[in-house]
Amino acid sequence: MVSFKRLIALASVVTGVLSQSVAYTDSGINFQGIFETTHGIQYGFVFPPTTATGATAQEFIGEIIVPVVNQWVGLAFGGQMADNLLMVAWPNANNIVFSPRYATGYIQPTPYAGPTVTTLESSVNSTYWKWIFRCQNCTTWDGGSMDTNGGPVFAWVIGLSPVFTPSSPASDFNEHDDFGFWGEITADAHDPNYASYLNIGSSTTTSKSSTTTSKSSTTTSKSSTTTTTTTTTTTSSTKTTTSTTSTTTTPLTSPTPYDYIIIGGGPGGLVSADRLSAAGKKVLLVERGGPSTGETGGTDVPPWANGTSLTRFDIPGEFQAMFSGNTYWFCKDVNSFAGCLVGGGSSINGGLYWYPTDADYSAANGWPTSWTNNFNTYTALLKNRLPSTDNPSPDGIRYLEQTYPVMQSILNPMGYQAGTINNNPNFKDHVYGYSAYNFQEGKRWGPVATYFRTAKTRPNFSYAYWTYATSIARNGSLITGVQTNNTALGPNGFIPLTPKGRVILSAGSFGSPRILFQSGIGPLDQIQLVAANPTAAPFLPPQSQWLTTLPVGYNVQDNPSINLMFTHPSIDAYDNWAPILDDPRPADAAQYLKSQTGVFAGSSPKVNFWQALGGPDGKTRYMQGTVRPGFDSVTTAYPYNASQVFSITVYLSTGVTSRGRIGISSSQLGASILTNPWFTDPNDKATLVNGLQQIINSAKNVPQLTLITPDNTTTLQDYVDNYPPTSLNSNHWVGANSIGKVVDSNLLVNGTSNLFIVDASVIPSLATGNPQGLVMAVAEQGIANILALAGGP
Ligand code: 6FA
C-alpha cells in the first residue's frame, strides 16, 4: 500500500519555520512561489484579482519546473495529504500527464473529479520538465478549502521512480521519496493581468523567441534591463506578443552581481570557490546537480544505514553501487560517465588519489614553463588541505587486502618494488603499493569536505544547486554574466558580473566545452549545431563575434584500459559487491555504522602499480594497474569460482599519443565523444599489449592463479583488438580546452577578457595516475594566477 505518512508526520513540526513564497516572473507571468533547493524545483502560483467573483474567484494558475531526475511531483493544496485537493504530474515523452487526486487516508490517492485542469504551457527536455496549468474549481474541495487571501501551507512531494503507467493520468505510483512544505502567500499572489495569462499557451513559441530579445538587452547594460522592466509595466496588460516579450525579462528584484561566477561544483570548481572567497571576492558557485554527502544536504542513505546521515556518497564502500539502479547522479545528457551533483566526479568516483609528478607538469606534456617551474608550491597546498591515505579505515587495520600478496607474487619477479606510492610521486617505474585514497575518518572526503566546507562559512560566498548554466553572455571579448535556468538568481536566470567581474568555467571535460559552444566559442560545426537549436540559438552572440578558431573539444585524452580477470583461492571477491547497497554483509555493515571502520571505509581498488614501457616508436609510455576483488564481466570457457575472482585494470597513462574529440553530437546538444581517443595511434595499443603480456607471463608462474579472461580460446592480441571501445573508457578525460591551445597560461580563454577555465579540460595530457589530484593542484595554481592577474575585481 502506498502512503504519504511521512508527509503528515512532519507537517505540524515544521509549520513554525516554513519558507515563504516570493515573487518571481517566468513565461511572462508574475508568480508567487518557492525555489526548493534540495531537488531544484520551482513551484509558483498566481490568482485572479481579489475583485473576482463566482467561478473566476475559485481558480488559479500554477507552475512547476522540475529537473528530470524527479519522475513525478505532487502538490497538496491543504498542506497535508488526507482530505485535501492534491495534484500529481509527470512527463511522458514530450507531454505532461497530470491528475487531480484525493485521499481519505494515507493511502494511494485516487483521481478526483471536481477540478478542471488545463495545460497552458509545457515542455520536456533532457534536463527539465515544466508545466504551467490553469486549475479551475480548485480552491474548495470535499471537506476543505484554500485561503486565497492569506498564507496557507502548501506541500510538495517528489518521486524518484517512475509512475507505473506513465501514459495514464490514473496511474498509481510508489510512495514519494521526499516532501516539504512552504507558506504560499496567496495574499500577494493576485495579479490584475491574470486573464491575459490564460492565453500563454498560444504564445509559447513567442515567449521563447522573446527570450532572445530580453537576453541581448540584459547583457548590453544594466540600464537596458531597467528599460525592459518599465516596458513590462506598460505593456503586460495587453495580450500581445509584445507583452510576452517584455515580461519574460522582468526581475521583480534586482539580481545580485558577482565578482566571480563559478560554473560547476566539481574538484576544479570547489577549489576555485574556496580560494576566491578566501581572497575576499564576492563569489557565486552554480551547480547543475544537487547535494551529495550528508554535509551538503544529501539524504540518499542506504537502507542498512537508515537513521544516520551517512549517504551512499559518504560511504566509500558504496562506490561499486554507483553503476546500477536509478543512477540519478550521472549527467543524463553526457554519453560518458560524469557526476552531476555537488563534488562532481569526486562525489561518485573510486577515490583513488595521486599527488602529481614532475612528468605530469612537463613541457613534453604540453605545460608552459610558468607551470613547470612552480607547480610544487601548489601541490604542497593541496597536500596540506587534502592528504592521501593508503590505509583508510580509522582503526589502522587493512581490510579485504587478499589481492596484495597475490600481486606481490606476480610483480616481485618482474623487478617491482613495494612502496607507499604518494611518498615518492615521481617513482612510477616498477613500483606497487596499497591504493591511495582521498578519504578521511572512514568517509569520502575530497574537495567537498575540505574546500567547499570552508568556502561555505564565508559571507561573501553563495552557491546554488540545480542551477544549470547554458551559456556565457558576452559583448565581443567582454563577459557580462551567465545565463542559467534559475529565475531566483536573476531575470530569466541571467546572473550579472560586477564591472570587473570574471567567470570561471568548471563544468568538467564535457560540460565546459558545451557551454563554450553555446556561447559562440569553438569549431564552427559545433556552433552551427547550437544555432540549429531553437532554445539555445537565441543566446548565441551575433555571428560576427563567434570565436571559431579555438580547438575546443579537440586534443582530448583518456587512458585506454583493459581488464584482466583472474581467480585465486585466497581471494574474497566480496560477493562481487552486488549486495553492498541493499543487503551488505551484516558484520561489516554493523562495524561501519558503529565506528566508520572496516571494509566500507575503503572503496574497491586495493593495489596499484606502475611500469615504464618502451613503444615500437621508441617513445616511453607508462602502464598503471589497479587491482580489486570482484569483476565487471567475465568471458571465459573455463569453469570458475565466482567468489575467488579479482580484476586488474591495466591503463596506459603518461606518454599516450592518441587523441580524440568531444563535442555535441546534434542540435539536441547532448555532450558526446565524437572521435574515440583510445588507440588512434597503433603504438599505444602495441605498448599496452606488451605490458599486459608481461603481467600474464609472470602470473603463469604463481601457483593456483588462473587467468580466466582472456582465456585460452583467444589470444591476448585478439582480446585487445576486439575489446568494446566504450569499455576502454577510464573516465579520466583531459585536454578539451588544453592550456596553450584554448586557454593561455593564466587559464584565460583566448580571445576573451574575463572568461577562465579551471577544470580537467585545461590539462593538456594525461597524468601518470588517476587525475583528480592533478585537477585540484591545477586549480590551486590556476586560481593563484587569476588572482594575480591585473584588471580583475
Ligand atoms: N579520478 C581519480 O583521480 N580517481 C578515481 O578513482 C576516479 N574515478 C572515476 C570514476 O570512477 C568515475 C565513474 C568518473 C566519472 C571519474 C573518475 N575519476 C577519477 C575522474 C575524476 O573524477 C575527474 O577527473 C574529476 O572529477 C574532474 O573534475 P572537474 O572539476 O574537471 O569536473 P567534474 O566533472 O568532476 O565536475 C564538473 C561539475 O560541473 C559537476 O558537478 C557538474 O554537475 C557541473 N556542471 C556541468 N555542467 C554544468 C552546467 N552547465 N551548469 C552548472 N553546473 C554544471
Domain boundaries, the chain: 22-198, 255-292+329-387+444-553+660-678+733-792, 388-436+561-657+682-728
Calpha distance 590→568 (Å, rounded): 28
Give the pLDDT of residue 412: 98
Q: 618 CB contacts (<8 Å, ≥6 apart)? A: none
**For residue 774, which atom of ligand 1 is closest to its CA?**
3
Centre of ligand 1 from the C-alpha of residue 338, in Å? 6
Neighbours of 433 (CB within 10 A): 22
Residue closest to 410 by CA, chosen among 193, 625, 152, 164: 625
Centre of ligand 1 from the C-alpha of residue 472, in Å? 21
Query: Which H or E element spans position 443?
Result: strand 443-444
User: Measuring from each residue's beta carbon to the nearest atom of ligand 1, which residues come in under 6 Å?
Assistant: 263-269, 286-289, 337-340, 344-346, 348-353, 468-469, 506-508, 511, 515, 731-732, 759-760, 770-772, 775
Query: Which H or E element spans position 46?
Result: strand 41-46
Q: Max Cα separation, the chain?
A: 90
Centre of ligand 1 from the C-alpha of residue 466, in Å? 16
Residue closest to 269 by CA, chosen among 425, 126, 483, 461: 461
C-alpha cell at 714: 583467444
Give the pLDDT of residue 781: 98
Centre of ligand 1 from the C-alpha of residue 589, in Å? 28
Q: Are 637 and 713 in contact (CB under 8 A)?
A: yes
Residue 760 phi/psi, 5-degree rounding, is -60, -25
Q: What SS3 class is residue 61?
A: strand
Residue closest to 64 by CA, chosen among 39, 85, 93: 39
Centre of ligand 1 from the C-alpha of residue 276, in Å? 20
Q: Are 513 and 663 in contact (CB under 8 A)?
A: yes
Name the residue of 732, 734, 758 whose CB sits within 8 Å of the most ligand 1 atoms, as the mutation to test its pocket. Answer: 732
Instruction: Please state the separation of Cα 80 from the chain's center in Å.
Output: 32
Give the pLDDT of residue 635: 82
What are the pLDDT digits (tens) for 559-577? 999 999 999 999 999 999 9
Q: Measuring from atom 22 of ligand 1, which residue has the nearest CA?
A: 345
Give the pLDDT of residue 201: 64
C-alpha cell at 85: 485537493
**For residue 351, which atom of ligand 1 is closest to its CA?**
6
Give the pLDDT of residue 12: 31
Centre of ligand 1 from the C-alpha of residue 757, in Å? 14
Calpha distance 431→701 (Å, rounded): 20
Give the pLDDT of residue 229: 22
**For residue 268, which atom of ligand 1 is closest to its CA?**
30
Q: What SS3 class is residue 243?
A: helix
Catalytic residue numbers read 732
Give the pLDDT of residue 128: 86
- β-sheet with 41-46: strand ranges across: 22-26, 29-36, 41-46, 60-67, 128-136, 116-124
What are the pLDDT digits (tens) for 6-19? 444 333 333 345 78
Q: Measuring from atom 26 of ligand 1, which residue has the nearest CA?
A: 345
**For residue 771, which atom of ligand 1 is closest to its CA?**
3
Residue closest to 607 by CA, chosen among 768, 419, 777: 419
Count the helices and strands in the chain (H runs, E runs).
16, 33
**For residue 772, which atom of ligand 1 is closest to its CA?**
3
Q: What SS3 class is residue 149?
A: coil
Q: Measuring from atom 41 of ligand 1, which residue has the nearest CA?
A: 344
CATH number of 255-292+329-387+444-553+660-678+733-792: 3.50.50.60
Q: Which residues pair with 661 in a beta bridge?
A: 675
Angle 403-411/682-699 helices, nearest 10 degrees? 100
Name the residue of 328, 346, 539 whose CB sits within 8 Å of the most ligand 1 atoms, as the mutation to test its pocket. Answer: 346
Q: 441 CB contacts (<8 Å, ≥6 apart)? A: 394, 596
Q: Write down the CATH superfamily of domain 388-436+561-657+682-728.
A: Cholesterol Oxidase; domain 2 (3.30.410.10)
In this structure, whether the domain defined by 22-198 belongs to CATH 1.50.10.20 is answered with no
Q: Measuring from atom 9 of ligand 1, which residue has the nearest CA?
A: 349
Q: Are 258 and 461 in contact (CB under 8 A)?
A: no
Q: Are 249 and 224 in contact (CB under 8 A)?
A: no
Q: 527 CB contacts (<8 Å, ≥6 apart)? A: 517, 520, 521, 540, 546, 548
Q: What SS3 class is residue 90?
A: strand
Q: What SS3 class is residue 612?
A: strand
Looking at residue 94, its amino acid is N
pTM of the model: 0.78
Calpha distance 782→793 (Å, rounded): 16
**pLDDT < 50 stretches in the chain:** 1-16, 203-252
